[in-house]
Structures are given as C-alpha cells and as structure tokens.
Amino acid sequence: MSDLTVSLIQANLYWEDKAANLAMFDQKIDSIKERTEVIVLPEMFSTGFSMQSERLAETMDGSAVQWMKAKAKQKNVIITGSLIIEENGEYFNRLIWMLPNGQFGIYNKRHRFGFAGEEDHYSAGDKRLIAQVKGWKINLTICYDLRFPVWSRNNIQENGEPAYDVLINVANWPERRSTPWKALLQARAIENQCYMIGVNRVGNDGNDIYHSGDSSLIDPVGEIIYRKEHEEDVFTYTLSRQHLDDLRARFPFMKDADRFMIL
C-alpha cells in the first residue's frame, strides 16, 4: 500500500463567527503548496467550542457543510473537522469526513465534556467511524474522546489485521490541561500501534479560555514527529506505510491483547 500525505491546520478561531472562520480556513488551505490528501481542521472549526447549539447549529445542507464539499472538490482532497449540526430536533458535535466527490462519513462525538455542560446541549453518538483512503484505515474522534482508551481500542480483526492505522482527534483543548493532552496523544499512539494526529486550536475563546494548540503528529512507537505550541500553523507530512508495517511486524504485541467488543 502507498504512503498518505496529511495536513494539520492549527488556527485561532473567530468566536461564533462562521463566515469569518470559513474565510480564514479558505486562505489557510489555499496556502498549502505541497500535494496533500487529507486536511484536518479543529473541533467546531466554524464557531469555536460553544454551548449555543440551538443558535449556531446548521443542518447537513448548511453553509459550513457546503463549504467543506466545495473546498474538497476544488482541492481534490479529503477535509475533516467537526461542526454543530442539528438533525431531527437533536444537536450533535459532528465530525464530517468529506470526500472530493461530495460523499461523506459522519461521527457524532461519543464523550461529551461534562465539566462544560456539553451533555446539556448535545446528544451523544454511539458509533465509531473508521474511514478508508488508499488502503489506510483511519479512526476519527473528537477532543474529550481522547481520555477514554476503550473507545479508541485498536482490536485485531478476524483477518488478523488491526482495525485501523491512524487515529485522528480534533479538539478545542485548553492550555490549562495541555499536559494530559500531550501525554494522552502519545499513549494512544503507543497502545494502538498507530499514527496519532491531534489537531487543536490556539488563542482565547469567547469564555476567555486560552488554548496553546500543541497540535501533534506522533508515530506508532510514540515518537513526536511534529508539535506546535501557541502559534497558528499549517503542517504537511507523508505517513510511511512501510514504517508502520515494519513496526507491527517486528513487535506484534496487539495479538496478545485482551479480547473484548464495544457494544
């Protein structure tokens, strides 16, 4: 299987200003000169991490979803990040995996951040989304999910292969808890023997909570390939399939793991 090139965009979001955020991400995506195949945006990239779900939500026909569709087609890339979505009277913190042809997958955030009252404004998801591109399997998660390793467990399948190769987490993770963020990103990479991509925002949000970013790309043994603090940044990197396969072949520890299923 071939390698996979990904771009991480760490940005200072405009608080609850969808038009400004979409214009900003337009510019940042247009600034990517290298050929890339997957672009990763932060959690709630069009609004910031707001509890104003009823006021800010859009449907799957809304402007931010349509922007993702148009931009993915224009650049011939996959774009992923989460939005506030209303569906059948419920509100979701929903990650969208948008393909260049307009098809998409969705993942509704499973673990809502009780400390901020997220469960009072958003419904929980109950299904994982493991997307596929060029033979790579990619598990998609949102922010607080990172604290719950069972939800990210990379179980060995009946064919003997791991369930996924890359774990992505999109976040609005505050600087005051940056130590757990960085430690958990490395832990998830090591225990699941996968590449780990964490894309966080920077700057103060509308509640004056500061985010230091610390967006990261970590290899399957926990080595930090990329980490950026405090500043906006766009980083592009090619994930090596050979590196991943060689590591798994040399140290196939996941075959010895406890067997269980998420019901």
The CATH number assigned to the domain holding 209 equals 3.60.110.10
In a domain, 93, yes or no: yes
- What pLDDT, on the 0 to 100 scale, is given for residue 105? 98
Kind of pairing, strands 202-204 and 195-199? unpaired
How far is residue 51's CA from residue 97's CA, in Å, rounded to a whole number?
A: 23
- What pLDDT, on the 0 to 100 scale, is given for residue 110? 97
Give catalytic status of residue 182 as yes or no: no
In a domain, 154, yes or no: yes
In a domain, 262, yes or no: no
Residue 263 has pLDDT above 70, yes or no: no
Expressed as residue numbers, the domain containing 174 is: 4-256
Percentage of the residues of the chain whose pLDDT score is greater than 70? 98
Q: Which of 63, 29, 48, 39 is nearest to 207 (CA)?
A: 48
Distances (CA, A) of 174 to 17, 183, 209, 211, 224: 20, 14, 7, 4, 20
pLDDT digit string, tens, across residues 215-231: 999 999 999 999 999 99
Give catalytic status of residue 223 as yes or no: no
Give catalytic status of residue 143 as yes or no: yes
Instruction: Determine which one of 18, 69, 71, 109 is catalytic.
Output: 109
Instruction: Determine which one of 37, 118, 143, 175 is catalytic.
Output: 143
How far is residue 140's CA from residue 235's CA, in Å, rounded to a whole number?
A: 19
- For residue 124, what are its two tokens? 């929980």
**Residue 162 DSSP code:** B
In a domain, 202, yes or no: yes
Instruction: Determine which one of 16, 43, 118, 175 is catalytic.
Output: 43
Percentage of the residues of the chain whose pLDDT score is greater than 90? 90
